[in-house]
């Protein structure tokens, strides 16, 4: 496919909506609260926000820049920008592998969400105790085929949209669905903070206790920031290649990171007060949202209606993220392997379905298979967010800070000199020194389990 045939986003708002659609997803509403819960609350939140704005935004600008400059898929981008140093291609490969692994476990959780739309609509949670609600979750996720079915439905839905041309699908849906998700989240927050006993949850989220922070928690905060911003694994290279040359990369990145963080914090506000009010544990792991929120809906007027809408919107937020994950792979299949878009989509989705099925079953029939003490699902989650994405981000920082020249990066950030770019020196300093050092230290310390 020649570059002239590349179809990009139609407007800057479309680009922001699409990239925010990728960023805002299960990572914010499902993963963020349980990661905060497992790492002690407020102090973790402070470190998380620091990572998002100090490292996340400059790296996001850099990642979008790589794609926009190369006008290529994630592997092709490194081929174009580094024709002589082939070693950089391994960063492209790492990105593709990471996308594949993330998509396979992500689609399992997305499938749970679709199932929760159905369960909520049929009134399955109505009048149930917190213990019974937890039991429903455990029974469903360990079922030998239902989670696979829902995961498959999700993968198929994503594939249909991607074959049809992802830009239109993403741009359109994000513009409408993200504001609606925001409003519903706001309503949930209000309900949750007005529950009796809610203040404990607010304290947990906003009162930092830095004694709870160790190397592992810092590594998790970094992994969560990268995961939530869809950073360090080629997604933003791919989307960057669709962004118009006249769009401002700083503005685009700041808006995406702010929207993403706001939704994450709001889901913490919606969830923790309810966790404490219902006597549940904030550290209950990946099941947190699915076990806690039905209790909140039970305590609300028109709870069933809210529950259906919430899980439906959560499914859609997940969908705009899976579209971006699949697009990384499909863009590679189309541009590097010269497959038709439809064929690339079908092949990638079939692979994802097979791997996703293994992840889905790791809560039930395959739960006995553990590697380093982790089930397959947990392993994929940990491997990608805790290791592959930080490694990808570190390599990316070195690539944009040291491999690309000052002229090349300035030209891209300033849109060939038409923007003032007074922040340029600070940006370059961060990507050359602060980001690589911080990423390296955190990665090594976290992997060795060093507490600091
Ligand atoms: N950022 C998405 C979320 O928070 C997950 C994701 C990661 C999507 C990487 C695309 C690429 O849900």
Alpha-carbon gap, residue 289 to 422, rounded angstroms: 42
Query: Closest ligand 1 atom, CA of 321?
Result: 8
- Domain assignment present for residue 363? The answer is yes
Quote the ligand 1 centre to 447 CA distance (angstroms).
23
Q: What are phi and psi of 370, to 5 degrees?
A: -130, 145
Tokens of 379: 């392993």
pLDDT range class, residue 153, cuts 50, 70, 90: very high
| pLDDT at residue 275 greater than cutoff 90 | no
> Which domain range does residue 129 map to?
3-447
Tens digit of each residue's pLDDT (9 = 90 or more) over 74-132: 999 999 999 998 899 999 999 999 999 999 999 999 999 999 999 999 999 998 998 99
Q: Which helix (H) or strand (E) holds 375?
A: strand 374-375
Across 394-398, average pLDDT: 97
Structural element, H or E, at residue 299 = none
Question: Predicted confidence band at 166 (pLDDT cuts at 50, 70, 90)?
Answer: low
Q: How far, in Å, CA of 151 to CA of 353, rounded?
A: 8
- Measured from CB, residues less than 6 Å from any atom of ligand 1 are 22-23, 25-28, 102, 227-228, 230, 233, 235, 321, 324-325
* DSSP-derived 3-state class of residue 338: coil
DSSP 87: G
Q: Is the pLDDT of residue 181 over 50?
A: yes
**pLDDT at residue 168 greater than cutoff 90:** no
Tally of domains within the chain: 1
What is the pLDDT, as a whole number, of residue 303?
82
The residue whose CB lies within 8 Å of the most ligand 1 atoms, and thus the one to mutate among 106, 166, 181, 384, is 106
CATH number at residue 93: 1.20.1740
Question: Pocket of ligand 1, candidates 321, 384, 386, 392: which has the most ligand atoms within 8 Å of its Cβ, to mutate?
Answer: 321
- Tell me how far apart the alpha carbons of residues 33 and 41 are, in angstroms, rounded to a whole number: 9
Q: Which atom of ligand 1 is nearest to the CA of 26?
A: 12
pLDDT for 96: 97
Instruction: Return the pLDDT at 169.
Output: 64
- In the reported structure, the alpha carbon of residue 102 is separated from the centroid of ligand 1 by a whole-number distance in angstroms of 8
pLDDT, one tens digit per residue, over 407-451 is 999 999 999 999 999 999 999 999 999 999 999 987 887 677 654
Residue nearest to ligand 1 atom 9, measured at CA: 230
Structure tokens at 425: 């020196």
User: What value does the CA radius of gyration of the chain take, rounded to a whole number of Å?
Assistant: 21
Of the chain, the percentage scoring pLDDT greater than 90 comes to: 58
Query: Which is higher by pLDDT, 43 or 179?
Result: 43
* d(CA 227, ligand 1 centre) in Å: 5
Pocket probe for ligand 1: among 20, 21, 27, the residue whose CB has the most ligand atoms within 8 Å is 27
pLDDT at 452: 43
The minimum-distance atom of ligand 1 relative to the CA of 389 is: 9
pLDDT number for residue 174: 67
DSSP element (H, E) containing 371: strand 370-371
Residue 47 is assigned to a structural domain of this protein: yes
**Which pLDDT score, from 0 to 100, does residue 167 have?**
66
Per-residue pLDDT, 1: 42
Alpha helices in 127-248 (DSSP H): 130-141, 146-193, 199-206, 215-228, 235-240
Is 5's pLDDT higher than 60?
no
User: Model pTM?
Assistant: 0.91
Q: Is residue 421 part of a domain?
A: yes
Mutate which of 324, 328, 384 for ligand 1 pocket (most atoms within 8 A of beta carbon):
324
CA of 51 to the centre of ligand 1 (A): 16
Distance 279 CA to ligand 1 centre (A): 30
Query: Binning pLDDT at 50, 70 and 90, where does residue 4 land?
Result: very low
Instruction: Output the residue whose Cα is nearest ligand 1's atom 10.
Output: 230
Neighbours of 12 (CB within 10 A): 16
The per-residue pLDDT for 192 is 81
- Ligand 1 centre from 106 Cα, in Å? 9
Average pLDDT over residues 49-69: 96
Q: What CA–CA distance (Å, rounded) separates 427 from 210? A: 29
Measured from the Cα of 227, ligand 1's closest atom is 7
Please give the distance of CA 267 from its chain centroid, rounded to a whole number: 14
Among 103, 227, 234, which residue has the most ligand 1 atoms within 8 Å of its CB, making it the best to mutate? Answer: 227
452 in a structural domain = no
Report the nearest atom of ligand 1 relative to the CA of 106.
5
* Ligand 1 centre distance from Cα of residue 299 (Å): 31
| Mean of the per-residue pLDDT values of the chain | 89
Distance from the alpha carbon of residue 231 to the mean position of ligand 1, in angstroms = 8
Rounded mean pLDDT of 157-184?
76
* 345 CA from centroid of ligand 1 (Å): 19
How many whole angstroms from 417 Cα to the centroid of ligand 1?
A: 32
Could you tell me the distance, in angstroms and rounded to a whole number, from the CA of residue 27 to the centre of ligand 1? 6
- Determine the distance separating the centroid of ligand 1 and the alpha carbon of 153, expressed in angstroms: 19
Residue 335: pLDDT band (50, 70, 90) is very high
Residue 191 reports pLDDT greater than 90: no
CA distance 260 to 244: 22
Q: Looking at residue 3, what is its pLDDT?
A: 45
pLDDT at residue 8, rounded to an integer: 78
The strand pairing partners of 370, in sequence order, are: 375
Whether 95 is in a domain gets the answer: yes
> Hey, which residues does 375 pair with through a beta bridge?
370
The mean pLDDT of 378-390, rounded to a whole number, is 89
Decide if pLDDT at 382 tops 90.
Answer: no
The pLDDT-based confidence of 278 (bands split at 50, 70, 90) is: confident
């Amino acid at each position: 496919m020649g570059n002239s045939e590349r179809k990009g986003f139609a407007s800057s708002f479309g680009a922001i909506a699409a990239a925010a659609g990728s960023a805002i997803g299960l990572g914010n509403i499902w993963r963020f609260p349980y990661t905060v819960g497992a790492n002690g609350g407020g102090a973790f939140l402070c470190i998380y926000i620091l990572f998002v704005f100090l490292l996340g935004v400059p790296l996001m600008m850099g990642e979008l820049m790589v794609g926009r400059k190369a006008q290529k898929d994630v592997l092709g981008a490194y081929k174009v920008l580094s024709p002589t140093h082939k070693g950089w291609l391994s960063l492209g490969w790492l990105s593709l592998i990471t996308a594949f692994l993330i998509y396979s476990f992500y689609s399992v959780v997305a499938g749970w969400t679709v199932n929760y739309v159905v369960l909520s609509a049929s009134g399955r949670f109505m009048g149930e105790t917190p213990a019974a609600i937890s039991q429903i979750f455990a029974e469903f996720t360990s079922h030998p085929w239902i989670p696979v079915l829902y995961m498959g439905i999700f993968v198929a839905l994503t594939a249909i949209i991607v074959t049809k041309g992802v830009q239109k699908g993403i741009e359109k849906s994000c513009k409408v669905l993200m504001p609606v998700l925001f409003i519903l989240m706001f309503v949930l927050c209000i309900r949750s903070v007005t529950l009796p006993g809610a203040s404990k949850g607010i304290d947990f989220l906003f009162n930092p206790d830095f004694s709870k922070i160790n190397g592992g928690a810092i590594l998790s905060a970094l992994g969560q920031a990268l995961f939530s911003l869809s950073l360090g694994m080629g997604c933003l290279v791919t989307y960057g290649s669709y962004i118009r040359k006249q769009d401002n990369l700083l503005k685009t990145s700041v808006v995406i990171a702010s929207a993403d963080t706001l939704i994450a914090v709001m889901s913490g506000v919606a969830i923790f007060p309810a966790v404490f009010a219902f006597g549940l544990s904030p550290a209950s792991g990946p099941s947190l949202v699915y076990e806690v929120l039905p209790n909140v809906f039970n305590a609300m007027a028109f709870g069933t209606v809210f529950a259906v809408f919430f899980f439906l919107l959560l499914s859609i937020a997940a969908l705009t993220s899976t579209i971006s994950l699949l697009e990384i792979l499909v863009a590679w299949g189309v541009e590097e392997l010269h497959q038709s878009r439809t064929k690339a989509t079908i092949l990638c989705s079939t692979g994802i379905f097979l791997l996703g099925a293994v992840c889905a079953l790791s809560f039930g029939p395959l739960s006995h298979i553990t590697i380093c003490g982790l089930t397959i699902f947990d392993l994929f989650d940990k491997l990608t967010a805790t290791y592959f994405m930080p490694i990808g981000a570190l390599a990316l920082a070195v690539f944009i800070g040291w491999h690309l020249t000052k002229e090349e990066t300035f030209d891209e950030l300033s849109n060939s000199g038409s923007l003032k770019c007074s922040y340029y020196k600070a940006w370059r300093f961060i990507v050359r020194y602060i980001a690589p050092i911080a990423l390296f230290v955190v990665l090594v310390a976290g992997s060795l389990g060093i507490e600091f």
